[in-house]
Amino acid sequence: MEETKLAVIDGETLMDLRLPPARFCVATLLPQGVTVLGGAPKIGKSWLVLDLCVRVAKGECVWNLPTQQGTTLYLCLEDTERRIQERLLCITDEVPASAFFAVAARTLADGLCGQIRQFVEEHPDTVLVAIDIFQMVRGGDTEISYASDYQEVRQMKELADELGISLLLVHHLRKQGDSDPLNKLSGTTGISGAVDAVFVLDKSRRGESGATLICTGRDIVYRELELRFEKAVCAWELVADSAEEPTFLLPKEMAALTEFMRGTIFFSGSNAELAEQLNAFAGTDLSAKGLKQMMNKWRYALEDGGVRFRSYRSNGQRLVEINYGVSAEAGQSGFGGERTSDGMNELLSVRESECVKSARTK
């Protein structure tokens, strides 16, 4: 067998290369490549994807985030044209000609990639292709294993990279629960391991009226979007974004502490006094020890929300000082050391003002 020399590049040359930045269909959220969207049956995944495809085709913002306008293709393989039409009439009064739909497609084994490739050749401005649901285009008799899951998604990944598009695969969740939402995707970890990003639409942690969209990936920072399904317009509307509101990720006790400190600004006293005041403020029932343990566990998230504290002993008593308003971005001022905000400034800097202005006027 003829040996093929390994293609390598040295670090100095790599550092000097002018490589294009990651491209996004929805800024900071939906990258070029393959993203899997998991969710329980009937939770509203299809409504989300339909609205996304129409908005991208129109060039409208998605949850205050700008989109790359272009042709979209939605393979709604569990629906009929009548049902799609009915849903479109619910969410909009105008659908652009650049939004395309199909209710049937081949499988990966008999030519799906070729069909998508041909569509993009005919519509070179295509930016988004959604497949709902991924199971419909997979090999029906393929043995479930990490290797088979990885290989099927890898085909999609190679196609998306070749065509320079965002490819969204709608997928089911496992029937059994899991404390980590990202482990709920049906199948093996070969699916999540092969994609560029994973979205999980899960029951809301904040109430039964909505859902939490948990997002993670290679080119995006971890974020959680609290959504509420508005029946009047049949669309998911944004309630909170952890990228803008870091305290959204906090447990309710730590969110209450942040609210307490927002009004107090500065606290100095014993752990027992802090627990007593917080319990009176928030209606909680935290012990001094339990509160301190939670504060230590969520220290960095509290700092992102502007709460910084220091613990010390005096005359045999455990005391704590807390400041509000010294954010993580403030760097070296205050106490508690230095910590960056994991690219939060870069994340927010890409937002375009017209999206924010549009949201404020709604």
3-state secondary structure of 187: coil
Helix (H) or strand (E) holding 31: strand 30-31
User: Are residues 278 and 230 part of one domain?
Assistant: no
**Calpha distance 146→148 (Å, rounded):** 6
The count of other CB atoms within 10 Å of the CB of residue 168 is 30
Which band of pLDDT confidence, cut at 50, 70 and 90, is reported for residue 323?
Answer: very high
Tell me how far CA of residue 101 lies from CA of 88, 122, 182, in angstroms: 11, 15, 29
Looking at the chain, how many residues does it have? 362
The answer to whether 321 and 265 have CB atoms below 8 angstroms apart is no
pLDDT for 318:
85
pLDDT tens-digit series, residues 138-147: 876 556 787 8
pLDDT tens-digit series, residues 257-311: 999 999 999 999 999 999 999 999 999 899 999 999 999 988 888 888 899 999 9
User: Are residues 217 and 324 part of one domain?
Assistant: no
pLDDT of 194 higher than 70: yes
pLDDT for 113:
96
pLDDT of 208 higher than 70: no
Residue 160 included in any domain: yes
pLDDT for 80:
95
Among the three residues 212, 244, 276, which one is the final residue of a domain in this structure?
Answer: 244
User: Are residues 118 and 169 part of one domain?
Assistant: yes
pLDDT for 178:
62
Among the three residues 228, 244, 260, which one is the final residue of a domain in this structure?
Answer: 244
Which of 103 and 144 is assigned the larger pLDDT?
Answer: 103
**Calpha distance 172→110 (Å, rounded):** 23
User: Are residues 18 and 130 part of one domain?
Assistant: yes
pLDDT for 314:
86
Residue 1 included in any domain: no
Sequence-distant (≥ 6) Cβ neighbours of residue 94 within 8 angstroms? 58
User: Are residues 297 and 152 part of one domain?
Assistant: no
**Calpha distance 150→191 (Å, rounded):** 5
pLDDT for 338:
39
pLDDT of 354 higher than 70: no
Residue-range definition of the domain harbouring residue 270 = 249-346
pLDDT for 140:
64
User: Are residues 154 and 221 part of one domain?
Assistant: yes
Which band of pLDDT confidence, cut at 50, 70 and 90, is reported for residue 349?
Answer: very low
pLDDT for 345:
39
Which tokens belong to 357? Answer: 């202005």
User: Are residues 191 and 238 part of one domain?
Assistant: yes
Residue 71 belongs to a domain with what CATH number? 3.40.50.300
User: Are residues 202 and 74 part of one domain?
Assistant: yes
Residue 355 included in any domain: no
pLDDT of 348 higher than 50: no
Residue 256 belongs to a domain with what CATH number? 3.30.56.130
pLDDT for 206:
57
pLDDT of 336 higher than 60: no
pLDDT for 329:
40
pLDDT for 179:
60
User: Are residues 264 and 130 part of one domain?
Assistant: no
Domain count of the fold of the chain: 2
